């Protein structure tokens, strides 16, 4: 009897050793147990994300498909749901058919970490804190600045949310993918008073930015910096020849360029001017 038990034990060990080397790959199981988000929470989350008919909503770990289906039915969006569990995908397609939105949504079985999400304008999540953090580099790498992310219950670690909502006992978190604004920028203002050459230095951690400007030899800290998606704004105040000067900058960050306007009150450059910054150093 003992000999037979040892033989079976040896066979099991050999199977674990030999099968992977023989090209056998085990299908990855779902990372979490499916738990449906209450419909009122789904509505509140999609409202916070500002979903419209212009959006493409991706639900990563879509479960029964209710985020994507609600986005299509109640907000007019298009949607894509991804889940590693084929049972959930079957259920999602059945629910989409019942809701009459099969022309606006699609569901497929797949690993959310390997799914191409570049076309998404909104991403919905109900995973775990550790999965959100693991997913974060993919979100920053693939999503365009301005893409909105909304997560039920779980946050993104040190990436602070732009907003937090709550319905009854459910908390959810909202972020906007920020543009890469960090670096050294050069810009100028041309007016009847002449051309003014300046530099902007920005540090960045996620959507939080701070820095300084160099204005004709003065170095001044920027005030009220705000980066929301690709929209950057900040203020500068200083005194020249006894006159207070206030400057408010607004612009869109697009790769190595910031394009917008600067409103100046006081001094020889008073007025609103075009503002074009060029990144000269990361």
Same domain, 52 and 163: yes
Contact status, residue 220 vs residue 201, Cβ threshold 8 Å: no
Are 252 and 276 in a shared domain?
yes
Tell me, yes or no, whether 136 lies in a domain.
Answer: yes
pLDDT digits (tens, 9 = 90+) for 130-183: 999 999 999 999 999 999 999 999 999 999 999 999 998 999 999 999 999 999
- Total tally of structural domains belonging to the chain: 2
Which residue range forms the structural domain that includes residue 61?
A: 39-176
Phi, psi of 62 (to 5 degrees): -75, -15
Its pTM stands at: 0.85
State which of 121, 144, 176 marks the end of a domain.
Answer: 176
Tokens of 240: 């020249």
User: Where a domain ends, among 131, 149, 176?
Assistant: 176
Hey, is 234 helix, strand or coil?
Answer: strand
DSSP, residue by residue, 112-172: TTTS--TT-SEEEE-S-HHHHHHHHHHHHHHSPTT-EEEEES--BTTB--SEEEEETTEEE
Q: Ranked by mean pLDDT, which of 14-18, 133-137, 186-190 comes out on top?
A: 133-137
Q: Give me the chain's average pLDDT, please.
A: 89
- The predicted model gives 218-225 an average pLDDT of 95
Written as six digits, the tokens of 200 are 């902007």
Same domain, 204 and 141: no
CATH number of the domain where residue 272 is located:
2.40.128.120
Could you tell me if 212 and 219 are in contact, meaning their C-beta atoms sit under 8 angstroms apart? yes
Residue 150 and residue 203 in one domain? no
What pLDDT shows up at residue 210? 97
φ and ψ of 253, to 5 deg = -85, 120
Q: 111 and 53, same structural domain? A: yes
Q: Which of 159, 176, 193 is the last residue of a domain?
A: 176
User: How is 183-225 classified by DSSP, letter by letter?
Assistant: EEEEEEEEETTEEEEEEEEEEEETTEEEEEEEETTEEEE-EEE
Q: Are residues 43 and 162 in the same domain?
A: yes
């Amino acid at each position: 009897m003992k000999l037979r038990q040892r033989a079976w034990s040896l066979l099991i060990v050999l199977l674990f050793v030999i099968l992977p080397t023989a090209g056998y790959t085990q299908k990855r199981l779902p990372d979490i147990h499916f738990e449906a988000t209450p419909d009122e929470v789904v509505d509140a989350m999609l409202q916070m994300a500002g979903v419209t008919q212009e959006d493409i909503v991706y639900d990563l770990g879509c479960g029964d498909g209710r985020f994507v289906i609600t986005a299509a039915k109640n907000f007019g969006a298009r949607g894509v749901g991804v889940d590693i569990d084929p049972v959930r995908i079957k259920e999602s397609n059945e629910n989409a058919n019942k809701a009459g939105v099969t022309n606006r949504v699609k569901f497929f079985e797949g690993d959310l970490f390997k799914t191409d999400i570049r076309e998404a304008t909104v991403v919905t999540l109900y995973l775990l804190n550790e999965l959100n953090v693991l997913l974060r580099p993919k979100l920053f790498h693939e999503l365009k600045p301005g893409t909105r992310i909304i997560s039920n219950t779980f946050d993104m670690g040190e990436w602070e949310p732009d907003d937090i909502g709550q319905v009854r006992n459910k908390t959810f978190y909202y972020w906007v993918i920020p543009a890469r604004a960090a670096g050294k920028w050069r810009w100028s203002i041309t007016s009847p008073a002449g051309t003014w050459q300046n530099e902007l230095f920005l540090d960045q951690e996620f959507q939080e930015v701070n820095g300084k400007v160099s204005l004709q030899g003065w170095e001044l800290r920027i005030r009220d910096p705000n980066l929301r998606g690709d929209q950057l704004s900040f203020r500068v105040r200083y005194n020249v020849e006894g006159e207070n000067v206030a400057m408010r900058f607004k612009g869109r960050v697009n790769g190595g360029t910031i394009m917008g306007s600067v409103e100046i009150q006081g001094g020889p450059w008073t007025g609103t001017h075009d503002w074009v910054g060029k990144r000269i150093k990361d």
